[in-house]
Amino acid sequence: MKLLNAERARGYMTDLGLDALVATTVENLAYFAEFTARTLHGWKDSLAFAVLPREDLAAATLLLPIVNAPEALDRPSWIKDVRFYGSFGIALPDGTARGFDRALAEVVKEPGQYANGVEALVSLVKERGWRKIGIDEMRISPVVWQQVADGLTGVELVPAYDTIKRIRTVKTPEEIDRLHRSVTIAEAGIKRSMDCARVGMTEADLLDTYLETIGREGAVPGCFYVNAGTRSGAALLASSPDYILKPGDCLKYDVGCVKDFYWSDTARTAVMGRPSAKLTLYYNAMREGQQALIEAIRPGVKASALFDLAVNTIRKAGIPHFQRPHCGHGIGLEFYDHPSIRPAATPALDPAIEEGMVINIECPYYEIGFAGIQLEDTIVVTGTGVRYLTRLDRDMREL
């Protein structure tokens, strides 16, 4: 139960009067059960449920298609009550199998306990006698939701994706360690790519170096935008094998990766040679605003106040027309976790910063025909301020 913030989960369930929470998405299954399977990423109709009871979190249950039995045995969840449904067309050994092979054969030799995922979930809820459950609705279709409802007459079903995401907002120490590792890998990719950058190379060459570096560390590419010259001003473009680096080009790295379920998202800016006066002015203004925001972070501060501070600082520092939809976002099992550092649409959408949040702080500036400049850092909110997870030099690097 290293990833789950158990006290926070129980508190939310108590406040909402829920007997249990049911995770369905890849991210929430990882959070509740520390389990993932490749089929869950690609097969949208492959239902899996991690069910967390309010009264006894240790009595959680994991409901899986029997096709996921090999992964469940190879990298077992902390959850001990694992139940399978469906059948799996796989030949059984002749009786001499040992170890993992024998354990797998025992699981798949007969059909699972239930015909399908809906039957598995409905049976569990009835068995436990629950009357109100929150279900992460983001992976199940309206048809499946209705099938569950039809099977649980008298049980109240509540959409719970946003609730689970809010539980995940404050990270556990294990989560912070994993985020730090992901950030470190992404930074190593940026550094090596910049070290290799030369006039005459292409954007794609720089990206390939980044991808090769993170791949050696077992990370999966996430966000990966490496652009040069005026192309960097378009914000998000695939790295081109045709654009050749020239002297004076601005290089914008906006990249990340996923390692052990957890995302990184880091940005740095460089220039091929010496920067222009405008590029220097704008970069320094952007950095000043980002720094002001970071220094103002404390538990209890409203996200909208941080946003306003960053935007106003950048405007006064040299970019009077600066504008942004947000100046930061939480990060974790999802690329965009809570909170979002943005203007307050309503009080309910203007969260207060909490200790233990992990937030990416960014105030990028994009100008078509000129350049894109970006500096993005990952911080952990402490009781008195922040701790950086990013370590790369924050100056605009001259290559």
- Exposure string (b/e) for 271-283, b if CB count within 10 Å is 16 or more? bbeebeeebeebb
Domains 6-167 and 173-398 share a fold: no
Q: Which tokens is 132 given?
A: 């109100």
pLDDT of residue 87: 80
* Class of the CATH-defined domain 173-398: alpha beta
pLDDT number for residue 101:
76
Instruction: Return the domain boundaries, the chain.
Output: 6-167, 173-398
Return d(Cα 252, Cα 236) in angstroms, integer: 10
pLDDT tens digits along 180-223: 999 999 999 999 999 999 999 999 999 999 999 999 999 999 99
Query: Which CATH architecture does the domain made up of 6-167 adopt?
Result: 3-Layer(aba) Sandwich (3.40)
Low pLDDT (below 70) residues in the chain = 41-45, 91-93, 96-97, 109, 346-348
Give the Cβ contact number of residue 316 at 10 Å.
13
Q: What string of DSSP letters covers 128-189?
A: HT-SEEEE-TTSS-HHHHHHHHHHSTT-EEEE-HHHHHHHTTBPPHHHHHHHHHHHHHHHHH
Partners of residue 357 on adjacent β-strands: 170
- Work out the angle at residue 316's Cα, subtended by the Cα atoms of residues 311 and 320, and round it to the nearest 5 degrees: 75
pLDDT at 43 (0 to 100): 66
> Which of 269, 370, 282 is CA-nearest to residue 319?
282
Q: What is the pLDDT of residue 44?
A: 61
Query: CA 256, CA 265: separation in Å to the nearest integer?
Result: 4
Burial state string for 248-257 with b = 16 or more CB within 10 A and e = fewer than 16: ebbbbbbbbb
pLDDT at position 69 is 87
How many angstroms separate the CA atoms of 210 and 190, rounded?
Answer: 6
By the 10 Å C-beta count (0-12 exposed, 13-18 middle, 19+ buried), 103 is classed as: middle
pLDDT the model gives residue 37: 84
